[in-house]
Homo-oligomer: A and B are copies of this chain.
């Protein structure tokens, strides 16, 4: 018997199956510093203990996307090692702040299965939960991927397609315990804009661009213990290029969005997302946002529903006349962020 992990194939999944993913991981000051070095991240709550204390928290929490990437990375060996495509995200909710020293692990439940008509692969839906060292959930999201079959003759499972919300309703957003923006210092945060200053439909070009290096995307991807070989092995693809982990683009775009959304301090939910085109080292990534919705979630605390688009081309580009993403578009992410009301 081989000792190494061959990954799961489509026929290895059954509805209701729960997978406890390896390896638990303690996240601390080092992960925070590396995140700041890897992305132009400047959101004040994630940068400063002093600022976070003023916001009623017990210190600066670990950036929400560190939590997302860490929880996601653990699922790769069980969910996407034999995946052909990463198809979507839904119902992502950040449930509790993570602080330096906390240990994260992940569990996934299989909630949907649909074999493709070609009989060679199928779509698997999982609901993944990130848990801390006290087994409290900190993050939950649904992800679906297309996975190859090991044996094309394996029988098709009964088709189950989960009923997923298009958007997390604002009343389901979790406000971190203790959070208040009552003594929020807009000058220190970097911009004067409150939720009310953003109009639905407003679009923001975040101006700056970052050219991606191989060393940087590999450092980032390893930091989340995501070991998918396409990201690291230049001999794996015929063109000798290493595919950049989609989460790297999410973090890069979110960090760039500081310029115009500096007060959108925390991500409360991920409503959906598409990695529209692959990205490679040498690409220069820019970002723009569109305000999709606005809601009050607690006294003094609002949520903005934002579309965040990463592109290696012009701002505000998204889809062509055929409705397909333009070739320069890398990411189309739909999320809720918390911001002073």
Given contacts A236-B209, A284-B235, contact A188 B20 (CB under 8 A): yes
Cα distance A232–B211 in the bound complex, in angstroms: 6
Measured CB to CB, the closest approach of chain B to A198, in angstroms, equals 8
Inter-chain contacts of A227 with B (CB < 8 A): 40, 42, 208, 259
- A33 touching B223, Cβ below 8 Å: yes
Q: Which residues of chain A from 210 to 262 have a CB within 8 Å of any chain B CB?
A: 210-211, 213-216, 218-220, 222-223, 225, 227, 229, 232-236, 242, 259-262
Inter-chain contacts of A38 with B (CB < 8 A): 219, 222
Count how many chain A residues have C-beta atoms less than 8 Å from C-beta atoms of the other chain.
Answer: 78
- A190 touching B23, Cβ below 8 Å: yes
Chain B residue nearest in CB terms to A59: B26
Does chain B have a CB within 8 A of A48?
yes
Cα distance A188–B43 in the bound complex, in angstroms: 33
Chain B residue nearest in CB terms to A6: B207
Measured CB to CB, the closest approach of chain B to A307, in angstroms, equals 15
Cα distance A188–B105 in the bound complex, in angstroms: 8
- A24 touching B51, Cβ below 8 Å: yes
Does chain B have a CB within 8 A of A101?
yes
Does chain B have a CB within 8 A of A303?
no
Cα distance A24–B209 in the bound complex, in angstroms: 23
**Within the complex, which residue of B22, B33, B235, B259 is in contact with A42, where a contact is CB–CB below 8 Å?**
B22
**Within the complex, which residue of B23, B34, B40, B43 is in contact with A37, where a contact is CB–CB below 8 Å?**
B34
Does chain B have a CB within 8 A of A316?
no
Cα distance A77–B259 in the bound complex, in angstroms: 10
- B222 touching A39, Cβ below 8 Å: yes
- A191 touching B3, Cβ below 8 Å: yes
Cα distance A210–B101 in the bound complex, in angstroms: 29
Chain B residue nearest in CB terms to A206: B4
Chain B residue nearest in CB terms to A291: B3
Does chain B have a CB within 8 A of A114?
no
Chain B residue nearest in CB terms to A261: B3
Would you give the 0/1 interface string for A51-93, flagging 1 where the beta carbon is closer than 8 Å to chain B? Answer: 1000000001000000000000000010000000000000000
A-B pairs with beta carbons under 8 Å apart, 13 shown: A3-B193, A4-B206, A22-B188, A22-B189, A23-B43, A26-B48, A29-B29, A34-B37, A36-B225, A50-B105, A105-B188, A208-B232, A211-B214
Interface contacts beyond A28-B33, A42-B227: sample of 5 additional A-B pairs, CB < 8 Å, sorted by A: A22-B191, A28-B29, A29-B100, A48-B105, A208-B233
